[in-house]
Amino acid sequence: MVRWWSLIAAGALFAAPQVAPGAATACACGGLLSSDPSLRVADELALVTGDGALETVVMRLNLSTSADNAALVMPTPTPAAVTDAPPELFDVLADLSAPRVETVRKWVIGWGGAASPEGMTAGALPGAGSGAPTVLDQVQLGPLEATTLSGGDLAGVQKWLADNGYELRSEISAGLDPYLREGWSIVAMRLTTQDSSLTGPLAPVKLTFESRELIYPMRMSAQATSPQTVVIYTLGEHRMQRTDPDALSQYVDIDYAGSVDGRTDEPMLTELASNGAYLTKMTSSIVEPEAITSDFLFAPAPTDEPFQRVVYRYEYVNMTLMILAGVVMIPVAAGVLTIVLIRRGRRHPTAR
Say yes or no to pLDDT of 163 above 70: yes
- Residue 105 φ then ψ, to 5°: -95, 135
Q: Give the CA distances from residue 258 to residues 64, 240, 302, in Å, rounded to whole numbers and listed in that order.
A: 33, 10, 14
* More confident position, 30 or 335: 335
Task: Identify which of 120-129, 171-180, 279-288 has the greatest average pLDDT.
Answer: 279-288
Residue-wise pLDDT for 72-108, tens only, equals 888 999 999 999 999 999 999 999 999 998 887 766 6
SS3 74: strand
The CATH number given to 23-107+130-315 is: 2.60.250
* More confident position, 153 or 333: 153
Do the Cβ atoms of 28 and 3 come closer than 8 Å? yes
Q: Which residue stretches of the chain are H helix?
A: 89-96, 154-163, 170-181, 267-272, 320-347
| Average pLDDT value over all residues in the chain | 79
Domain boundaries, the chain: 23-107+130-315
pTM: 0.78
Confidence of residue 328 (pLDDT cuts 50, 70, 90): low
Q: Residue 193 contacts by C-beta under 8 Å, 6 or more apart in sequence?
A: 68, 69, 143
pLDDT (average), residues 244-252: 96
Q: How far apart are CA 337 and CA 271, in angstroms?
A: 76
Task: Identify which of 128-132, 197-201, 218-222, 345-349 has the greatest average pLDDT.
Answer: 218-222
pLDDT of 325: 65
Please give the full DSSP string across 14-58, using - where no structure is assigned. TTPPPPPP--EE--TTS-EE-SSTT-EEEEEEEEEEE-SSEEEEE
Confidence of residue 54 (pLDDT cuts 50, 70, 90): very high
